Amino acid sequence: MTLAPLKHRARFHTLTVAEVRPLTADSVEVTFTVPPKLQGAFDYLPGQHLALRATIDGQELRRSYSICRPETSGQISVAIKRDLGGAFSTWANSELHVGDELDVMSPQGSFTSTLQGLEHKHVVGVAAGSGITPLMALAHTVLAASATSSFTLVYTNRTALDVMFLDELAELKDRYPARLALYHVLSREQRSSSLLSGRIDEEKFRRMLDTILRPASVDEWFLCGPFELVQLCRDTLESTGVDRARVRFELFTTGVPSAANGDRGRPVIIGTGDKTFQIEFTLDGQSNTVTTPVNASESILNAALRVRPDVPFACAGGVCGTCRAKLVSGDVTMTENYALEPEELARGYVLTCQSHPTTDTVVVDYDV
């Protein structure tokens, strides 16, 4: 198992849909064929995600979805759950068919293991709803990598009908009965155990830590779900003495791009005498400069897209990390950050979709 996160140039490639498989009433698994010439561009680690791009009702939309299967030559799969009012997820669940072609970005993301080997390692995952998607790939990989590794999964849903990958999880349990501990928590159905019934709040999560999870035995944690659950688990783990460096987390994307729309930046008007910032950026070895008015409060991403439509982004909500760049000089403020780890921030990386200049000139590099 490769442990260092793979870093691909965030570039779209056209892939053909090989299979669309229903998972629940409102979710599907979409499998793409990866031709041999693109195999290197779609190597990935469990926990990484793909950005998909499609034009729906005349509007270009981009959304990120986690890869749900361990690496298989010639194919790559994501799971897409229909969000209430979600244009892309609704379209994918009802209109996407085998043989369709879709723009798919090379795998991105750092929601991957940092363990140096998996022998005798215990990994715990806590997921809600479609947050199971990256944990499917992670669980498969951890358990297959070593005969002495173990994985514990706490998976919460409203009802049994909402459980994605139900059969696959059962098969995985049958394959590794002694090394996979699987706990389904249902918030709207009563189960035989009170620990597995109802919403996961702090009191319930602390009971789990005392009984089925036992932090002293855990080498790495993976949390994936809505902000409230992920933050609750992070805070509770920290309060019990778990080092945050051992806790990996990923949030659901916002689903509502606020800083960039389609493949070009929101237009701005620079009036005579307006104070401006100058943004310089490097992408694929080419440097560009764009000027933005101070009163527009424009993000670096939005400004860059006005002169380079190929600047990488997906969610534009500070979640996926696709728009990451290194701040070479100048200063910025970041509105949100749910993607960068503390060590990345210390090395000067920023999310350009959330970064706003605070100095006359800002220089960022997407290539490092």
pLDDT at 135 over 90: yes
Per DSSP, what are the bridge partners of residue 183?
Answer: 154
- Are 233 and 320 part of one and the same domain? no
Helices (H), the chain: 87-95, 132-145, 166-175, 202-208, 227-239, 300-305, 342-346
Instruction: Choose between 60 and 14: higher pLDDT.
Output: 14
CA atoms in the 13 A half-sphere facing the CB of 126:
27
Cα separation, 282 vs 241, whole angstroms: 41
Q: What is the pLDDT of residue 255?
A: 39
Question: Is residue 259 very low, low, confident or very high in pLDDT (cuts 50, 70, 90)?
Answer: very low
Whether the Cβ atoms of residue 197 and residue 103 lie closer than 8 Å to each other: no
- Which uninterrupted H or E stretch holds 183? strand 180-186
- What b/e sequence results for 83-106 when a residue is b if at least 16 CB atoms lie within 10 Å of its CB, and e otherwise? beebebbbbbbeebeeeeebbbbb
Cα separation, 292 vs 6, whole angstroms: 33
Cα separation, 121 vs 142, whole angstroms: 9
pLDDT at 254 over 90: no
| 332-348 confidence digits (pLDDT tens) | 999 999 889 888 999 99
Average pLDDT over residues 262-290: 83
Per DSSP, what are the bridge partners of residue 249?
Answer: 223
- Are 55 and 85 part of one and the same domain? yes
- Are 227 and 145 part of one and the same domain? yes
- Are 101 and 133 part of one and the same domain? no
Query: Is 194 within a domain?
Result: yes
Q: What CATH number is associated with residue 157?
A: 3.40.50.80
Q: What CATH number is associated with residue 323?
A: 3.10.20.30
Q: What CATH number is associated with residue 78?
A: 2.40.30.10
- Are 100 and 132 part of one and the same domain? no
Average pLDDT over residues 81-98: 92
Query: Is 114 within a domain?
Result: no
Query: Is 5 within a domain?
Result: no
Residue among 345, 348, 352, 361 nearest 283 (CA)? 352
Number of domains within the chain: 3
**Sequence-distant (≥ 6) Cβ neighbours of residue 273 within 8 angstroms:** none
Whether the Cβ atoms of residue 133 and residue 68 lie closer than 8 Å to each other: yes
pLDDT at 85 over 90: no
- Are 128 and 228 part of one and the same domain? yes
Q: Residue 27: which domain range?
A: 12-108
Cα separation, 34 vs 36, whole angstroms: 7
Instruction: Choose between 274 and 286: higher pLDDT.
Output: 286
Q: What is the pLDDT of residue 247?
A: 95
Query: Is 268 within a domain?
Result: no
Q: Which two three-digit tokens encode residue 149?
A: 């590794």
Query: Is 4 within a domain?
Result: no
Per DSSP, what are the bridge partners of residue 229?
Answer: none
| 23-74 confidence digits (pLDDT tens) | 999 999 999 999 999 999 999 999 999 999 999 999 889 999 999 998 888 9
Number of residues in the chain: 368
- Are 299 and 247 part of one and the same domain? no
For 99, phi then psi, to 5°, come to 95, -15
DSSP labels, 340-356: --HHHHHTTEEETTTEE
Query: Is 316 within a domain?
Result: yes
Whether the Cβ atoms of residue 79 and residue 168 lie closer than 8 Å to each other: no
pLDDT at 324 over 80: yes
- Are 85 and 130 part of one and the same domain? no
Write down which residue in 253, 286, 302 finishes a domain.
Answer: 253
Residue among 16, 53, 20, 12 nearest 35 (CA)? 16
- Are 25 and 102 part of one and the same domain? yes
Residue among 46, 213, 1 nearest 124 (CA)? 213
Query: Is 214 within a domain?
Result: yes
- Are 98 and 185 part of one and the same domain? no
pLDDT at 271 over 90: no
- Are 332 and 245 part of one and the same domain? no
| 97-129 confidence digits (pLDDT tens) | 999 999 999 999 889 999 999 999 999 999 999
Cα separation, 26 vs 73, whole angstroms: 28
Cα separation, 202 vs 241, whole angstroms: 15
- Are 128 and 102 part of one and the same domain? no
